[in-house]
Amino acid sequence: MAKPKQDIQQQLILDARHHDPFAYLGLHDAPKGETTKQVFRTFLPYAERVWLKTAEGWDPLTRMHANGMFEWHGDGLVRPCLLRIEANGSSHEQHDPYTFPSSLSSDEVYLFGQGRLLQAHQTMGAHLIAQHGIDGVRFAVWAPNAERVSVIGNFNQWDGRIHPMRVHGSSGIWEIFIPGLSVGELYKFEIRNRDSGHIHVKTDPYGFSFEQRPGTAAKVTSLTQHTWQDKEWIQKRSTVDWLHTPFNFYEMHLGSWKRNAQGYFLNYRELAADLIPYVKEMGYTHIELLPVSEHPLNESWGYQTTGYFGVTNRFGTPDDLRFFVDACHQADIGVILDWVPGHFPKDDWALARFDGTALYEHEDPRLGEHQEWGTYVFNYGRNEVRNFLLANAYYWMSEFHIDGLRVDAVASMLYLDYARKHGEWLPNQYGGRENLDAIEFLKQLNVMAHEDFPGALTIAEESTAWPMISRPVYLGGLGFSMKWNMGWMNDTLSYIAEDPIHRRYHHDKLTFGQLYAYSENFVLPFSHDEVVHGKRSLLDKMPGDTWQKFANLRLLLTYQMTTPGKKLNFMGNEFGQGREWNVNASLDWHLLDTHWHQGVQLV
């Protein structure tokens, strides 16, 4: 004899396998044939007794299963429902989350599926909202191949049975409003794969803040409390002719520029106080920050991103970063962020195999894995993935007033055979090696950035001769504002490293760059990549004895400044840092006590 439908649904709830818990839990019409009109159900495995607030007072619920299924039958109950729960000798009151309606609109769900929800950070993730005058947190996550998704945290003892979410049709978006939660709550998503039944515990892809490493939970936070004071800067930025304006970028890593007396990180506000006057004095127009999105390992420099929407808490809160950017703008300093849309790490608690399937990445490793870095490659052909990245770029420029993005490793995005041997990659639909989906994504990114944020910059770190990187999309280009001139950098460093007596045989390394100097809008970079991993500092690359090394470094920096193009130098280059960059230590500021380094700084 087949089990009644209600018994089957109850068992699915008990087993944490119900695909639509709102269809069973909460307040519903009573089954036909009952004397009452309503039935209320709640699953509270840690409760001993439960009461429901009605017009007459507190009605006790009947325990329907030893594991914690409670039920009430009656009339006249109005949503949302308030419960009194007794457990472990104490009691508390809470509203039932399954008696609140969805707060996601059909337009949001539709646009997300189309890849056109640019303000997805206002829809996905965790948001402090009020429903029916009751404060709480709305959670939303994309997991289309899940049988069940739950929010877990301290508020439910990290038990995935207690707060399973509703799914919005075939969109793959799961959502729930949990009343009573507030700022500071740690949370994750527990995802049961539809096919394998395996459980995957993941942090929030759209999380705004995360707990201190090595913890990996996301943290509920308000979007912002900061009051911006940079209106004049934003207006000026929208009118400046940046193509014909001198730009001098100071590239830096926040954790190793300077540290306090105890060797700890300075926070964003302390950095603003020390860094901005220094940058102004040295004549820089922009600060370019190595990635400040959340990442687990210091030694990745931020390029192994696990929290794309999260400001790394190494240096403070999201509003602390807003303060830093605001202070820069008030001092007429622009802020550029390094941004990593080309690949993401394989950490099993983050984006990788998010719902048990290749969701953000490709299933086939010939498309979905970056062999050189041991990371996954984004599937740019999937609307929701493209939306994730476009919305992330939009988020940094809208919520943090960032003046532009330097896009990391563009070459690895453009070529399907990048760092791959024959037979280790798949051609595109026309048999070529161009990644057509990535090309379309980059065009959309650049059009969005320039149209929605007038005066904002997009800068490509692109190491090949791909044509028209910094030409408008409507002319057939990729649409970037500028491109790093890696060829000029390599040729120049190779030339300057020659003993002066031999340089007359290598002048082609200086003249060759002028043959293509105006084919793109170039930035001339001496970046972090050139002073690490055994490449030595700029000073140490110079030939000769001490006097000659410093003379050659002054010559190099002067040559850079007088060559057509925007300029970029990594921190420490400007005063002749002697040793290689060490991400775990401050720059050697004591070197400025000597005339050698003071002389370099004067260039």
Q: Any idea which residues carry the catalytic annotation?
A: 408, 461
Q: Name the pairing type of β-strands 375-376 and 173-179.
A: unpaired
DSSP 306-362: SEEEEEPGGG--HHHHHHHHHHHHHTT-EEEEEE--S-B---TTTTTTTTSS-SSB-
Backbone phi, psi, residue 200, to 5°: -125, 125
Sole residue written with tokens 């105890």: 262
| Rounded Cα–Cα distance for residues 256 and 171 (Å) | 43
Sole residue written with tokens 């970037």: 480
Question: Is the distance from CB of 117 to CB of 389 less than 8 angstroms?
Answer: no
CA distances from 213 to 200, 271, 592 (A): 20, 21, 34
Beta bridge partners of residue 92, listed in sequence order: 85
Greatest Cα pair distance, the chain, in angstroms, is 103
Buried/exposed 255-277: b ≥16 CB within 10 Å, e otherwise: bbbbeeeeeebbbbbbbbeebbe
CA distances from 274 to 248, 258, 270, 324, 327 (A): 19, 9, 6, 11, 11
Look at residue 78 and give its three-state secondary structure.
coil
Buried/exposed 462-471: b ≥16 CB within 10 Å, e otherwise: bbeebebbbb
Residue 52 CB neighbours (<10 A) = 22
| Rounded Cα–Cα distance for residues 373 and 387 (Å) | 24
Residues 6+ apart with CB under 8 A from 511: none
CA distances from 529 to 444, 461, 462 (A): 28, 11, 13
Residues 6+ apart with CB under 8 A from 295: 302, 303, 304, 305, 306, 307, 312
For the record, the structure tokens of 447 come out as 């059009």
The shares of helix, strand and coil residues in the chain, as percent rounded to the nearest 5, are 30, 25, 45
The four Cα atoms 350, 448, 138, 171 give a dihedral, to 10 degrees, of -80
